[in-house]
Structure 1
């Protein structure tokens, strides 16, 4: 078994995934409550995608040596990171090409059976506008950083899956 496969089967790998998602969620709450930056509805959806990655990491931590658990966690990871990347790209487009015809809604469109914005408004109620760019670091907006973050999650997922699915004894990175 290669080092990468052993790492994918370890609890520490799933802990790193979970910890990174916790750090992103904590950062979002820091921006909202300490820096007083108001999240838009797309930001709330992106928060939910990060929460999906966090849950996938927790599932993977349950029994990382079990194939079934890794598959379920990996599917959750893939769906959440892909959805998050799509949302972040949409938000970047809204912010860089503002148009009165391309706006986001004021309230999140959660299913009736799961109105997160009513259950936990302090985390899931949008108060900002999608066209606003309230924060930048190194001339990169928060939405652009999230494109980078979700892309990183997907690259990491591929690094985990390729040697496992191909059955190769040595990942191509080590040749």
Structure 2
């Protein structure tokens, strides 16, 4: 299995597929915001940043997937972004559950990006906080957006971890030998 994953990670099309899925999630978030008027909270914005990190990671490796250093760097960025997104999605699910059970909680109204990565200032249409945490406006198959984000980020993290571990596998010189 790891040899197959390593071989796949050295091709362009899996990285293109990864980039397209992350881009699709970004576009879905923008559709929900600008077409359906569901305003993103701080956690939603941080989840968007995680999807953007996965997109950047995929595009980075797409440049030269056969270069080990680039592939490892991209995979680590992918894994880090997915884990960050998973953490943010879990926090948002917790906020939703607290509010649904009658409790009280709140979250920040403004993004706390470092000065060198002021995404909310550079691209406010994508990364500016315009909503508050905990409002459940949309559900599909019993999961909210936060719940689906948690599922997707867990899948991304698991995939990235498997790809990272596969880099330790040795490929045979002759692809026709077992």
TM-score higher than 0.5: yes
Number of aligned residues: 168
Matches within 5 A, 1:54-69: 54-69=55-70
Higher relative contact order (CA 8 A, sep 6+): 2
Alpha-carbon distance, 1:55 to partner: 0.3
Match of 1:129 among 127, 132, 139: 132
Contact 2:79/2:161 (<8 A) preserved: no
Give the match for residue 155 of structure 2.
152
Give the match for residue 114 of structure 2.
111
Q: Could you tell me how far apart the structure 2 residues matched to 1:83 and 1:90 are?
A: 11
TM-score w.r.t. length of structure 1: 0.89
Q: Could you tell me how far apart the structure 2 residues matched to 1:146 and 1:40 are?
A: 14
Q: 1:164 to 1:117 in 2, by over 3 A?
A: closer
Give the match for residue 73 of structure 1.
74
Describe the SS at the equivalent of 2:114.
Answer: coil
Contact 2:33/2:39 (<8 A) preserved: yes
Q: Which runs of 5+ in 2 are unaligned?
A: 173-178
Alpha-carbon distance, 1:166 to partner: 4.5
Q: Could you tell me how far apart the structure 2 residues matched to 1:161 and 1:124 are?
A: 29
Give the match for residue 84 of structure 1.
85
Q: Which runs of 5+ in 1 are unaligned?
A: 170-175
Give the match for residue 173 of structure 1.
none
TM-score w.r.t. length of structure 2: 0.88
